[in-house]
Amino acid sequence: MKTSMFTNLARFCALAALVSFAPALQASGGKIVIKAGRVITQAGADIQNGVIVIENGRISAVGPDTKAPWDADVLEHPELVAFPGYVEAHSNRGMDRPNENIEVAPFLDVRDSIDPISFYFEDSLRAGVTTINIQQGNSCVIGGQGMIVKPFGITIEQMAVRTQSGIKVVAGLRPGASRATQAQALRRAFGDLRRYLEKLVQDTRDGKDSARREALFQGKDMDKDENKKGRAMEGSATWKVKDLEIVPRGEIDDKQEPLLRMIEGKLPVFLYCDSATSVGLALEVIRENGLAATTTLVLEGDSWKAADQIAAANLPVILSPNLVYTEREPVTGKEIQTFVPGVFDKKNVRFALQSLTPSAQSLWFQAATCVAWGLERKKALDAVTRTPAEILKLGKRVGSLEAGKDGNVLLLSGDPLAVKTSVQYVVLEGNLVYDRSKDVRVKHLLEGVEQNNAAPTGAQATDDGDDDHKKVPDEIQKKHDAGEKKDEPKKDEDKHDHGGKKD
Partner 1 sequence: MLTAILTACALLSGPGATPAKGEPRVLVVRAEKLLLGDGTTLDAGAVLIEDGRIRAFGKDVDVPAGAGVITHPGWVSAGLVALHAYAGAPEELRDSSRPVLDGKVAWAFDPAHSDFADAVAAGITTLVLVPQRNALSGGSSAVVKTAGARVLTEQAQLSLSFSAAALAPNRYPTSFGSAMAELEQRFEKPQGAFARAKSGELPVLFEADSREDVQRVVAFAKRLKLRGAVYGADWIGELAESVNEAHLAAIFAPFDPGEERRTIQSVLKLAKSGTAFGFGLDSPWKSPESLRLSAALCLREGLDRKLAWRSLSSQAAEIAGVGERVGRIEKGHDADLVLWSGDPLDLKSRVDAVFVDGQRVYEAKKP
Partner 2 sequence: MNLSLIALLCCTAQTAQQPKTQGDAPRKNWVVSAERVYTAAGRSLEHGTVVVQGAKIGMVSSGSEDNGPETLACYAVTPGLVDASVRINSGALSVEQSREETPELRVTDTLSAYDIAWDAQAGSGVTCVLAAAPDLNVIGGLAAVLKTAGEPSIEKRTVKNDAVLRGAIGSQPSRGNHPAFGRPTDFYSRRPTTRMGVEWEWRKSFYEAAASRKDPARAFKGSTQVLAALDGKLTLDIQAWTTQDIRTAVFLKEELEKEPQLGGKPRLVIDAAAEAWKEPELLVRSHTSIVLPPFPEDGRTDDGAFMAWNTAALLVEQGVPIALSAHGDTSPAGRLSMQAGYAMQGGLDFDQALAAVTINPARMLGVEDRVGSLEVGKDADLVLWNGEPFQATSRVIGVIVDGALVLDPRTKQ
Are the C-beta atoms of 107 and 451 separated by less than 8 Å? no
| Distance in Å, CB of 503 to partner 1, minimum | 4
Between 488 and 503, whose beta carbon lies closer to partner 2?
503
Q: How far apart are CA 244 and CA 233, in angstroms?
A: 6
Helix spans in 21-127 (H): 119-126
| Distance in Å, CB of 41 to partner 2, minimum | 20
Q: How far apart are CA 404 and CA 424, in angstroms?
A: 24
C-alpha distances in angstroms, 463 versus 80, 93, 130, 502? Answer: 30, 10, 19, 41
Residue 427 has φ and ψ, to the nearest 5°, of -110, 125
User: Is residue 1 classed as helix, strand or coil in its secondary structure?
Assistant: coil
Are the C-beta atoms of 43 and 385 separated by less than 8 Å? no
Per-residue binding string, partner 2, 110-149, x by CB under 8 A, is ---------x------------------------------
| Distance in Å, CB of 235 to partner 2, minimum | 29
Closest CA to 285 of 261, 266, 313, 306: 313
DSSP 14: H
| Distance in Å, CB of 336 to partner 1, minimum | 17
Stretch that binds partner 1, among 20-28, 224-232, 446-454, 490-498 (CB under 8 A): 490-498
Q: Which of 324, 472, 476, 482 binds partner 2 (CB under 8 A)?
A: 324
| Distance in Å, CB of 53 to partner 2, minimum | 31
Binds 502, which of partner 2, partner 1, none (CB < 5 to 8 A, cut-off by type)?
A: partner 1
Stretch that binds partner 2, among 178-186, 244-252, 305-313, 471-479 (CB under 8 A): 305-313
H or E element at residue 249:
none
Buried residues in 300-325 as b, exposed as e (16+ CB within 10 A): bbbbbbbbeebbebebbbbbbeebeb
- Measure CA 342 to chain center: 22
Between 333 and 448, whose beta carbon lies closer to partner 1?
333
Between 458 and 489, whose beta carbon lies closer to partner 1?
489
**What is the per-residue DSSP string for 439-469?**
-HHHHHHHH----SSS--SS----SSS--GG
Binds 500, which of partner 1, partner 2, none (CB < 5 to 8 A, cut-off by type)?
A: partner 1
Burial of 269 (0-12, 13-18, 19+ CB in 10 A): buried
**What is the per-residue DSSP string for 368-429?**
HHHHHTT--HHHHHHTTTHHHHHHTT-TTTSSS--TTSB--EEEESS-TTSTT--EEEEEET
Between 2 and 498, whose beta carbon lies closer to partner 1?
498
Q: Which of 448, 473, 489, 499 binds partner 1 (CB under 8 A)?
A: 499
Binds 277, which of partner 1, partner 2, none (CB < 5 to 8 A, cut-off by type)?
A: partner 2
Beta bridge partners of residue 84, listed in sequence order: 409
| Distance in Å, CB of 328 to partner 1, minimum | 13
* 334 near partner 2, rule: CB under 8 A: yes
* 334 near partner 1, rule: CB under 8 A: no
Q: Which of 57, 292, 445, 451 binds partner 2 (CB under 8 A)?
A: 445
Q: Which of 27, 331, 419, 459 binds partner 1 (CB under 8 A)?
A: 331
Between 76 and 494, whose beta carbon lies closer to partner 1?
494
* 2 near partner 1, rule: CB under 8 A: no
* 444 near partner 2, rule: CB under 8 A: yes
Binds 357, which of partner 2, partner 1, none (CB < 5 to 8 A, cut-off by type)?
A: partner 2
* 329 near partner 1, rule: CB under 8 A: no
* 420 near partner 2, rule: CB under 8 A: yes
Closest CA to 32 of 73, 2, 67: 73
Stretch that binds partner 1, among 289-297, 431-439, 451-459, 494-502 (CB under 8 A): 494-502
Stretch that binds partner 2, among 355-363, 382-390, 431-439, 469-477 (CB under 8 A): 355-363
Within residues 365-394, the interface with partner 2 by CB under 8 A covers 365, 368-369, 371-374
Residues 207, 212, 217, 221, CA torsion sign: negative
Stretch that binds partner 1, among 172-180, 435-443, 475-483, 493-501 (CB under 8 A): 493-501
Q: How far apart are CA 254 and CA 268, in angstroms?
A: 18
User: Is residue 360 classed as helix, strand or coil in its secondary structure?
Assistant: coil
Instruction: Work out the number of other CB atoms within 10 angstroms of the CB of residue 101.
Output: 11
Between 2 and 501, whose beta carbon lies closer to partner 1?
501
**CA dihedral angle for residue 315, residue 319, residue 320, residue 326, rounded to 10 degrees:** 100
* 474 near partner 2, rule: CB under 8 A: no
Find the farthest-apart pair of alpha carbons in the chain and give their distance in angstroms, rounded: 85
Site residues, partner 1 (CB under 8 A): 331, 495-503
Site residues, partner 2 (CB under 8 A): 119, 276-277, 302, 304-309, 322-324, 328, 333-339, 342-343, 346, 356-361, 364-365, 368-369, 371-374, 417-420, 422, 444-448, 455, 457-460, 463, 503
